[in-house]
Structure 1
């Protein structure tokens, strides 16, 4: 039977838990990374989860990684993850490009003091995947893990709909296929499970030992027409983030929660979400 997180929290009410928050720069692709860093500090965040494209753009402007790290330090920000759009399964050519981008990201992470690289596992859902998809994804993850190991960083597969990491049995298969999972993590995103009509709490419970980074976003969601869905602050959406937060607090989660909004309201939604979560945790 599932543990009642509210009861656990009540028993531990005297113990104050603290979770650091960051923003995913994937939702701000047209902005410069130094401007995002300044905005993150203004919002009171502790980190920025940086899209690889932002680093590439910064370097192309003549910047250097050590200078970027100095900018982040000035704004008192950590980098809990670097986010790459790698899948391994689209084609043989894309497979090699994915590995190259992850290898480069691991080198960047080493310089920036970042502990993990975000990747996807496949570009189709586990229900639609064929044997070749699974074979390519497993081989890509194993190779990428070796590259990450050489730089002292972890490889984190995001739990995401329409990928091979979309449900409990597929997550278990990925773990088995990777063999050595000492540096393999999962990035937990309950919303990505909710849109597939999967209860996010059992996944969090089952795979928590592999979860060291979390994404938060939420919507008033239209399952019949996704395009009509509306992004809202985190505790006002349909995916049940109050229960997710309660579970994380009950586990005494110490990793980052990264706000991952997209569209025109990224900063506003991040600010309001941070306010809601801070108030909620102060009252518990």
Structure 2
């Protein structure tokens, strides 16, 4: 169970203590330093770093100490390191994924990052047999232990086409992984694409949620490739209700904007989303304090 008590900004009569970042997974073609510069220019407080960006920086001759300095110079935090692990593609691949988790956990410790992002499998929960479920649970359990050994946490993203795609599968996953277990990364849009209501899931699992992703689209359910990314309150997933619920529940961590596309699209959607959320939050304040 996570403690969200630090997020009580509304009770102090000011804007809630939320912080904003973006996912560098949407900017994979950009060098890491460019990504950090863009985050600073947009006015974000953090960057959720794709493991590939860190790996590329280190392979290019950089060090974790230098990366930490680059972040400090821009006053940027790293709320999560995003790995693409799922523990459902066989023993050999799972062993490789655990090695990557171990490396990412060391990076996280050195960068002051609290969590590593993972997926739970790569197929919908409704399609998974018991053997695959057990393999994913085993892999996540071991990955969580590795993270704890470095003083960080493993966070499973709520995502369609994984074992973390419905309220029922989430409950089973949290139950089956021994305490202190895993965190969850909440992404309401990933539920919306499966025609699920994101808000009940947020309320039910709030105490397990350590981090949040925001993105929105004009979504084409018949042909996902024809969907159009748009700023957070202009899409189909009703993020106003999601955001209002986060405030009501007392969330005060990071929200990472997770837009894909070319650099201009990612930057534009992030900027406009940030402006919309800040305006909406201030509109809600008198109502909540009154």
TM-score by length of 2: 0.92
Could you say which residue in structure 2 is the equivalent of 1:63?
62
- Aligned residues between the structures: 273
Q: Residue 87 of structure 1 aligns to a residue in which SS?
A: coil
Could you say which residue in structure 1 is the equivalent of 2:105?
106
Could you say which residue in structure 1 is the equivalent of 2:33?
34
* Alignment partner of 1:179 is 2:171: no
Shift of 1:32: 1.1
Whether the aligned pair in 1 keeps the contact of 2:174 and 2:181 (CA below 8 Å) is no
Q: Distance in 2 between matches of 1:172 and 1:85?
A: 22
Shift of 1:18: 2.7
Could you say which residue in structure 2 is the equivalent of 1:222?
220
Q: Distance in 2 between matches of 1:178 and 1:225?
A: 35
Q: Distance in 2 between matches of 1:183 and 1:133?
A: 19
Could you say which residue in structure 2 is the equivalent of 1:240?
238
Q: 1:192 aligns with which of 190, 193, 196?
A: 190
Could you say which residue in structure 2 is the equivalent of 1:168?
167
Q: Distance in 1 between matches of 2:13 and 2:79?
A: 28
Q: Distance in 2 between matches of 1:133 and 1:215?
A: 27
Aligned runs of 1:1-284 on 2, under 5 Å? 14=13, 16-180=15-179, 182-264=180-262, 265-284=265-284
Q: Residue 242 of structure 2 aligns to a residue in which SS?
A: helix
Q: Measured at CA, do residues 280 and 13 of structure 1 come closer, stay the same or move farther in structure 2, by a change above 3 Å? A: farther
Could you say which residue in structure 2 is the equivalent of 1:4?
none
Q: Residue 281 of structure 1 aligns to a residue in which SS?
A: helix
User: In the TM superposition, what whole-angstrom CA distance separates every residue of 1:26-66 from its partner, at most 9, and x where no partner exists?
Assistant: 00001111111111011000000000000000000000001
Structure showing greater relative contact order (alpha-carbon pairs closer than 8 Å, 6 or more residues apart): 2
Shift of 1:283: 1.7
Whether the aligned pair in 1 keeps the contact of 2:82 and 2:117 (CA below 8 Å) is yes
Whether the aligned pair in 1 keeps the contact of 2:216 and 2:231 (CA below 8 Å) is yes
User: In the TM superposition, what whole-angstrom CA distance separates every residue of 1:225-269 from its partner, at most 9, and x where no partner exists?
Assistant: 111110000000001100000000111211100000001211111
Runs of 4+ in 1 over 6 A off after TM superposition: none
Q: Distance in 2 between matches of 1:246 and 1:102?
A: 34
Q: Distance in 2 between matches of 1:232 and 1:18?
A: 25
TM-score by length of 1: 0.94
The CA RMSD over aligned residues, in Å, is: 1.3
